[in-house]
Amino acid sequence: MKTTYRAMQATRPGILELVERETPAPGIGEVLIEVEACGMCGADTADIEGVDPALQPPRVPGHEVVGRIAVLGAGTPGLWKVGQRVGVGRLGGHCNECKQCRHGRFQLCENQPFVGASCDGGYAEMMLARSSGLVAIPDELGAEDAAPILCAGIATFNALKKCGAHAGDTVAILGIGGLGHMALQYARRMGFRVVAIGRGEQIAQDAMALGAHRYIDLCKEDAAAELRSMGGTQAIVTTIGHSATVSAVMGELAPEGRLVLLGAGKDPLPVSAGHLVVGERGVLGSITGTPYENEKTLNFSVLAGVLPMIEVMPLEQANEAYRKMKSGDARFRMVLSMTRGNLLQRNTTTTS
């Protein structure tokens, strides 16, 4: 094994620097992963832009990590082996000791690192990870395809499972980007009548190909009126944090309908208490999920043929990939590859 590895670390706000680091040894309950691919997520922006050298050393971002176990630390459970394909998402591994863990709510662990934020992530050739945060990767998925599923995939898959809708019900996906394009595919394959709500004509064709039965263009149409004309919607999964846009469509929730929030905006969300009470409607937030739930998401993706649409760039072009992701020009997820050269790759998905 090499004594050093390359990593892209955030040394100052908005800038990633290619550095050479010493290869670390895993501690108790940890593994060292040889990274093959790492997806870029919108949440990485806060980790890269919010750098403060006075508070912590330069951090390596990235929390959609796929690779192989290179070294096992002491105390690692026997289900993990050297050479095994594994992944790590945003939640870096539960502690098994806090109150939430004792209740089995591992995704809400109070002592869990956030990968790429409170511990180093996957914009690197090597990465340390808690064994309790590891996700087994199916052989049917390549590293670049699996990476975005570890965050964008599980976030939307779990949100749809929590939305309360049943096959045949109408479900609206608000925001068609890195998260939304996964939500459309999952929603279609779960048997919902899928309404995509986005901005601009240029995304309409993609939305329909990814699984939408109807596309509503916020630039031209009144989304609330259009949903009303369809009889309302049993659930709305929103991937955006713009509270005014979310609030505008919330009135079209059917009785016992649910609004599931994935986009965490800074502004308060205006909610009509009467609308909630009279129709027994609900609003809930949804975090990504546990490693077990992540494996369920990956397995469903294989069975149902759900893949992210990705653009792949080599590790050393992380700044370029980050700028493209941040500008909204990515279609739809950027992925860094540690094993390939300079290339651009797209996956296209068509739903019959």
| Structure confidence by residue, pLDDT tens digits, 209-229 | 999 999 999 999 999 999 999
In a domain, 347, yes or no: no
CB 170 within 8 A of CB 191: no
Shared-domain flag, residues 266 and 330: no
pLDDT, residue 352, reads 47
Is residue 237 in a domain?
Answer: yes
Phi-psi sector, 325: left (phi>0), alpha (psi -120 to 50), beta: alpha
Distances (CA, A) of 200 to 207, 216, 335: 11, 9, 25
What is d(CA 160, CA 190) in angstroms, rounded to the nearest whole number? 9
Residues 330 and 274 in one domain: no
Question: CATH no. for residue 91?
Answer: 3.90.180.10
Place of tokens 């949440």: 43
pLDDT score, position 318? 97
Split at pLDDT 50, 70, 90, the class of 341 is: low
Do 158 and 247 fall within a single domain? yes
Which residue segment(s) compose the domain that 203 sits in? 153-285
Is the residue at 348 inside a domain?
no
Tallying the residues shown for the chain, one arrives at: 352
Question: What pTM was estimated for this model as a whole?
Answer: 0.95
Phi then psi for residue 51, to 5 deg, are -65, 135
Instruction: Find the DSSP H helices in 103-153.
Output: 143-148
Rounded Cα distance between 244 and 226, Å, is 17
Specify whether 105 is located in the same domain as 15: yes
SS3 140: coil
Do residues 277 and 317 both lie within one domain? Answer: no
Partners of 255 in the beta sheet? none
Looking at the structure of the chain, the number of domains it has is: 2
Residue 234 is encoded by which pair of tokens? 């049993």
Domain check: are 69 and 167 in the same one?
no
The 10s digit of each residue's pLDDT in 66-117 is: 999 999 999 999 999 999 999 999 999 999 999 999 999 999 999 999 999 9
Which pLDDT score is estimated for 322? 97
pLDDT digits (tens, 9 = 90+) for 49-70: 998 887 788 999 999 999 999 9
* Helix/strand/coil for 103: coil
Residue-wise pLDDT tens digits, 280-293: 999 999 999 999 99
Is the bond preceding 300 in cis, omega lying within 30 degrees of 0?
no
123 and 188 share one domain: no
pLDDT tens per residue, range 149-205: 999 999 999 999 999 999 999 999 999 999 999 999 999 999 999 999 999 998 999
The reply to whether 290 falls in a domain is: no
Whichever domain contains 250, its CATH number is 3.40.50.720
In a domain, 90, yes or no: yes
Q: Which residues contact 55 (CB under 8 A, 6 or more apart)?
A: none
CB 95 within 8 A of CB 285: no
- Selection from 83, 124, 146 nearest residue 338 by Cα: 124
With a pLDDT cut of 70, the percent of the chain lying above it is 97
Q: Is pLDDT at 37 greater than 50 in this prediction?
A: yes
Question: Is residue 277, in this structure, part of any structural domain at all?
Answer: yes
- Residue 45 belongs to some domain of the structure: yes
Structure confidence by residue, pLDDT tens digits, 127-156: 999 999 999 999 999 999 999 999 999 999
